[in-house]
Amino acid sequence: MRPFTIYAPSDVATPEPPQVGTRRREDVPERFKWNLSDIFPDWNEWEAGYKRLESGIDRYASLKGTLAEGADALLKAFRLSEELGQLAYKVWYYPSLQYDEDQRDNGINAKRQQVQILFARLAQAESWFNPELLSIPLETVRGWMSQSEPLRLYRFAIENLYRQQEHVLDEAGEKLMSLSSRLSASPNDAYWALSTADAKFPTITLSTGEQVTVSYGQYRALLATRREQSDREAAFRALHET
Protein backbone atom coordinates (compact mmCIF):
# COMPACT_ATOMS: atom_id res chain seq x y z
CA MET A 1 0.00 0.00 0.00
CA ARG A 2 1.45 3.33 -1.05
CA PRO A 3 1.62 5.80 1.87
CA PHE A 4 0.13 9.27 1.56
CA THR A 5 2.61 12.12 1.48
CA ILE A 6 1.77 15.06 3.70
CA TYR A 7 3.26 18.35 2.59
CA ALA A 8 4.03 21.25 4.84
CA PRO A 9 2.11 24.43 4.05
CA SER A 10 5.27 26.05 2.73
CA ASP A 11 5.65 23.26 0.14
CA VAL A 12 2.25 23.91 -1.43
CA ALA A 13 2.02 26.56 -4.12
CA THR A 14 -0.46 29.31 -3.29
CA PRO A 15 -1.57 31.00 -6.50
CA GLU A 16 -2.31 34.67 -6.47
CA PRO A 17 -6.04 35.41 -6.49
CA PRO A 18 -7.32 36.47 -9.90
CA GLN A 19 -7.76 40.13 -10.59
CA VAL A 20 -11.33 41.15 -9.88
CA GLY A 21 -12.64 43.93 -12.02
CA THR A 22 -15.88 45.23 -13.47
CA ARG A 23 -16.28 44.55 -17.18
CA ARG A 24 -18.76 45.99 -19.62
CA ARG A 25 -20.67 43.48 -21.70
CA GLU A 26 -19.10 44.67 -24.95
CA ASP A 27 -15.70 43.78 -23.50
CA VAL A 28 -16.68 40.12 -22.97
CA PRO A 29 -15.71 37.74 -25.84
CA GLU A 30 -18.65 36.53 -27.90
CA ARG A 31 -17.99 32.88 -27.02
CA PHE A 32 -18.98 33.61 -23.42
CA LYS A 33 -22.31 35.24 -24.31
CA TRP A 34 -25.74 33.73 -24.89
CA ASN A 35 -26.58 33.02 -28.50
CA LEU A 36 -30.19 34.15 -28.48
CA SER A 37 -30.53 33.61 -32.22
CA ASP A 38 -31.17 29.97 -31.31
CA ILE A 39 -34.51 31.20 -29.94
CA PHE A 40 -35.40 33.78 -32.61
CA PRO A 41 -33.10 35.19 -35.34
CA ASP A 42 -34.27 38.76 -34.74
CA TRP A 43 -37.01 40.92 -33.29
CA ASN A 44 -39.17 40.57 -36.42
CA GLU A 45 -39.31 36.80 -35.92
CA TRP A 46 -40.04 37.33 -32.24
CA GLU A 47 -42.94 39.61 -33.14
CA ALA A 48 -44.30 36.95 -35.49
CA GLY A 49 -44.02 34.36 -32.71
CA TYR A 50 -45.80 36.71 -30.33
CA LYS A 51 -48.70 37.09 -32.77
CA ARG A 52 -48.92 33.30 -33.24
CA LEU A 53 -49.15 32.90 -29.49
CA GLU A 54 -51.80 35.61 -29.32
CA SER A 55 -53.96 33.92 -31.95
CA GLY A 56 -53.35 30.53 -30.33
CA ILE A 57 -54.82 31.79 -27.07
CA ASP A 58 -58.05 32.64 -28.87
CA ARG A 59 -58.10 29.19 -30.50
CA TYR A 60 -57.65 27.52 -27.11
CA ALA A 61 -60.42 29.57 -25.53
CA SER A 62 -62.75 28.47 -28.35
CA LEU A 63 -62.36 24.83 -27.26
CA LYS A 64 -64.29 25.49 -24.07
CA GLY A 65 -67.29 23.19 -23.78
CA THR A 66 -65.96 20.55 -26.21
CA LEU A 67 -64.13 18.09 -23.95
CA ALA A 68 -67.14 15.85 -23.34
CA GLU A 69 -67.31 15.13 -27.10
CA GLY A 70 -64.71 12.41 -26.71
CA ALA A 71 -61.08 11.39 -27.03
CA ASP A 72 -60.35 13.46 -30.15
CA ALA A 73 -61.61 16.69 -28.54
CA LEU A 74 -59.56 16.09 -25.39
CA LEU A 75 -56.47 15.23 -27.43
CA LYS A 76 -56.90 18.41 -29.48
CA ALA A 77 -56.95 20.50 -26.30
CA PHE A 78 -53.86 18.81 -24.90
CA ARG A 79 -51.90 19.19 -28.12
CA LEU A 80 -52.80 22.85 -28.52
CA SER A 81 -51.86 23.53 -24.90
CA GLU A 82 -48.52 21.83 -25.49
CA GLU A 83 -47.93 23.83 -28.67
CA LEU A 84 -48.72 27.11 -26.93
CA GLY A 85 -46.51 26.20 -23.97
CA GLN A 86 -43.49 25.61 -26.20
CA LEU A 87 -44.10 28.83 -28.13
CA ALA A 88 -44.66 30.80 -24.91
CA TYR A 89 -41.29 29.59 -23.61
CA LYS A 90 -39.50 31.06 -26.63
CA VAL A 91 -41.55 34.27 -26.75
CA TRP A 92 -40.78 34.90 -23.07
CA TYR A 93 -37.09 34.08 -22.95
CA TYR A 94 -36.02 36.08 -26.00
CA PRO A 95 -36.73 39.48 -24.36
CA SER A 96 -36.25 38.19 -20.80
CA LEU A 97 -32.66 37.04 -21.33
CA GLN A 98 -31.84 40.26 -23.17
CA TYR A 99 -33.25 42.18 -20.22
CA ASP A 100 -30.98 40.17 -17.91
CA GLU A 101 -28.03 41.37 -19.98
CA ASP A 102 -28.84 44.99 -19.13
CA GLN A 103 -31.72 45.72 -16.78
CA ARG A 104 -31.40 49.43 -17.49
CA ASP A 105 -32.81 48.94 -21.00
CA ASN A 106 -36.41 50.12 -20.70
CA GLY A 107 -37.19 49.22 -24.32
CA ILE A 108 -36.41 45.55 -23.71
CA ASN A 109 -38.26 45.65 -20.41
CA ALA A 110 -41.35 46.98 -22.19
CA LYS A 111 -41.34 43.93 -24.49
CA ARG A 112 -40.86 41.66 -21.49
CA GLN A 113 -43.85 43.25 -19.76
CA GLN A 114 -45.83 42.91 -22.97
CA VAL A 115 -45.29 39.15 -22.79
CA GLN A 116 -46.28 39.08 -19.11
CA ILE A 117 -49.60 40.70 -20.00
CA LEU A 118 -50.11 38.11 -22.74
CA PHE A 119 -49.32 35.33 -20.26
CA ALA A 120 -52.09 36.66 -18.02
CA ARG A 121 -54.46 36.28 -20.96
CA LEU A 122 -53.18 32.76 -21.56
CA ALA A 123 -53.82 31.83 -17.93
CA GLN A 124 -57.38 33.15 -18.21
CA ALA A 125 -57.93 31.26 -21.48
CA GLU A 126 -56.81 28.01 -19.84
CA SER A 127 -58.76 28.43 -16.61
CA TRP A 128 -61.78 26.46 -17.89
CA PHE A 129 -59.88 23.29 -18.76
CA ASN A 130 -59.35 21.60 -15.39
CA PRO A 131 -62.89 22.10 -14.03
CA GLU A 132 -64.40 20.96 -17.33
CA LEU A 133 -62.27 17.82 -17.54
CA LEU A 134 -63.01 16.94 -13.92
CA SER A 135 -66.73 17.15 -14.66
CA ILE A 136 -66.28 14.02 -16.82
CA PRO A 137 -66.06 10.74 -14.84
CA LEU A 138 -62.54 9.36 -14.67
CA GLU A 139 -63.66 5.95 -15.92
CA THR A 140 -65.05 7.61 -19.04
CA VAL A 141 -61.71 9.30 -19.72
CA ARG A 142 -59.87 6.02 -19.05
CA GLY A 143 -62.08 4.41 -21.66
CA TRP A 144 -61.08 7.10 -24.15
CA MET A 145 -57.41 6.50 -23.39
CA SER A 146 -57.78 2.77 -23.92
CA GLN A 147 -59.18 3.46 -27.40
CA SER A 148 -56.79 6.28 -28.36
CA GLU A 149 -53.05 5.63 -28.35
CA PRO A 150 -52.12 9.32 -28.87
CA LEU A 151 -54.25 10.32 -25.87
CA ARG A 152 -52.47 7.74 -23.69
CA LEU A 153 -49.37 9.95 -23.95
CA TYR A 154 -51.12 12.30 -21.51
CA ARG A 155 -52.18 9.57 -19.07
CA PHE A 156 -49.98 10.82 -16.23
CA ALA A 157 -51.23 14.42 -16.56
CA ILE A 158 -54.85 13.23 -16.64
CA GLU A 159 -54.57 10.80 -13.73
CA ASN A 160 -52.64 13.37 -11.69
CA LEU A 161 -55.31 16.01 -12.23
CA TYR A 162 -58.03 13.68 -10.99
CA ARG A 163 -55.87 12.76 -8.01
CA GLN A 164 -55.70 16.43 -7.01
CA GLN A 165 -59.28 17.33 -7.93
CA GLU A 166 -60.24 18.32 -4.39
CA HIS A 167 -57.77 21.21 -4.73
CA VAL A 168 -59.17 22.44 -8.06
CA LEU A 169 -61.66 25.31 -7.92
CA ASP A 170 -64.71 25.66 -10.10
CA GLU A 171 -64.39 27.61 -13.34
CA ALA A 172 -65.16 30.96 -11.71
CA GLY A 173 -62.58 30.32 -8.99
CA GLU A 174 -59.89 29.19 -11.43
CA LYS A 175 -60.49 32.28 -13.58
CA LEU A 176 -60.18 34.50 -10.53
CA MET A 177 -56.85 32.86 -9.68
CA SER A 178 -55.62 33.39 -13.24
CA LEU A 179 -56.37 37.11 -12.98
CA SER A 180 -53.88 37.41 -10.11
CA SER A 181 -50.91 36.13 -12.13
CA ARG A 182 -49.84 39.56 -13.41
CA LEU A 183 -50.25 41.17 -10.00
CA SER A 184 -48.30 38.45 -8.18
CA ALA A 185 -45.22 39.07 -10.37
CA SER A 186 -45.10 42.81 -9.65
CA PRO A 187 -43.31 42.71 -6.25
CA ASN A 188 -40.53 40.53 -7.66
CA ASP A 189 -40.11 42.76 -10.71
CA ALA A 190 -39.98 45.86 -8.50
CA TYR A 191 -37.37 44.28 -6.22
CA TRP A 192 -35.03 43.33 -9.05
CA ALA A 193 -35.40 46.72 -10.72
CA LEU A 194 -34.50 48.54 -7.50
CA SER A 195 -31.79 46.14 -6.33
CA THR A 196 -30.06 45.59 -9.67
CA ALA A 197 -30.83 48.11 -12.39
CA ASP A 198 -31.27 51.16 -10.16
CA ALA A 199 -28.81 50.28 -7.39
CA LYS A 200 -25.61 52.31 -7.03
CA PHE A 201 -23.03 49.79 -5.89
CA PRO A 202 -20.11 51.04 -3.78
CA THR A 203 -16.44 50.81 -4.67
CA ILE A 204 -13.89 49.45 -2.17
CA THR A 205 -10.11 49.29 -2.16
CA LEU A 206 -8.67 45.81 -1.59
CA SER A 207 -5.50 45.04 0.34
CA THR A 208 -3.67 44.88 -3.00
CA GLY A 209 -4.66 48.47 -3.78
CA GLU A 210 -7.09 47.32 -6.46
CA GLN A 211 -10.43 49.14 -6.57
CA VAL A 212 -13.55 47.01 -7.11
CA THR A 213 -17.22 47.92 -7.51
CA VAL A 214 -19.09 45.50 -5.24
CA SER A 215 -22.05 44.30 -7.29
CA TYR A 216 -23.75 40.98 -6.53
CA GLY A 217 -21.54 39.12 -8.99
CA GLN A 218 -18.32 40.76 -7.80
CA TYR A 219 -19.27 40.07 -4.19
CA ARG A 220 -19.54 36.35 -4.83
CA ALA A 221 -16.25 36.39 -6.72
CA LEU A 222 -14.51 38.18 -3.85
CA LEU A 223 -15.78 35.68 -1.29
CA ALA A 224 -14.60 32.78 -3.44
CA THR A 225 -11.15 34.07 -4.38
CA ARG A 226 -9.82 36.51 -1.76
CA ARG A 227 -7.89 34.90 1.09
CA GLU A 228 -7.59 38.13 3.07
CA GLN A 229 -10.38 38.34 5.62
CA SER A 230 -10.24 42.13 5.57
CA ASP A 231 -11.11 42.12 1.84
CA ARG A 232 -14.07 39.78 2.35
CA GLU A 233 -15.26 41.83 5.32
CA ALA A 234 -15.03 45.07 3.34
CA ALA A 235 -17.00 43.51 0.48
CA PHE A 236 -19.65 42.18 2.89
CA ARG A 237 -20.14 45.54 4.58
CA ALA A 238 -20.15 47.45 1.30
CA LEU A 239 -22.82 45.25 -0.31
CA HIS A 240 -25.12 44.87 2.67
CA GLU A 241 -25.02 48.55 3.54
CA THR A 242 -26.08 49.50 0.01
Q: Which of 42-56, 68-82, 134-148, 193-207 has the lowest mean pLDDT?
A: 193-207
pTM flag (> 0.95): no
Angle 114-116-50 (CA atoms, 0-180°, nearest 5)?
55
Contact 94, 46 (CB under 8 A): yes
Domain ranges in the chain? 39-196, 200-242
Which of 3-12, 49-58, 86-95, 206-215 shows the lowest mean pLDDT across its residues? Answer: 3-12
Q: What is the CA radius of gyration of the chain?
A: 26
- Looking at the domain 39-196, which fold is it? Butyryl-CoA Dehydrogenase, subunit A; domain 3 (1.20.140)
CA 159 to chain centre: 27
**Does residue 5 carry a pLDDT above 50?**
no
Question: What does the pLDDT read at residue 182?
Answer: 62
CB 101 within 8 A of CB 107: no
Mean pLDDT within 14-29 = 63
* CATH ID of 200-242, from 1.20.1260.10, 1.10.10.10, 1.10.287.830, 3.30.230.10: 1.10.287.830
Cβ atoms 204, 238 nearer than 8 A = yes
